[in-house]
Amino acid sequence: MKMAGPQRGSPARYIFGLVCLVASLITLPAGFLQMVNALETGGYGTSRNTMAFVTLGAGGALLGLGIALLIWELSVRHNIRH
């Protein structure tokens, strides 16, 4: 059953989503720079290359989590249900 007006959202979910987005905007360029540095020094199969992939994966995970949390929060606040 849909309610008539907007519901109250969670400020913690909103803030955590924004923090995840900002962290991803820091982590992804850092991972890119690590990858460039690893490829210049040793190429594929090195431990530096593995750490660059881990950093890029963490940045992607933070980006996905941040976007998902913000979509969830805004859908609750504006009563958008499908």
Domain boundaries, the chain: 11-77
Instruction: Output the pLDDT for position 11.
Output: 85
Instruction: Output the pLDDT for position 5.
Output: 56
Burial 17-53 (b: 16+ CB within 10 A, else e): beebbebbeebbeebeebbeebeeeeeeeeeebeebe
Rounded Cα distance, 82 and 60, in Å: 27
Q: Is the pLDDT of residue 82 over 90?
A: no
pLDDT tens per residue, range 51-68: 999 999 999 999 999 999
Instruction: Output the pLDDT for position 78.
Output: 81
The pLDDT confidence band at residue 33, using thresholds 50, 70 and 90, is very high
The pLDDT confidence band at residue 7, using thresholds 50, 70 and 90, is low
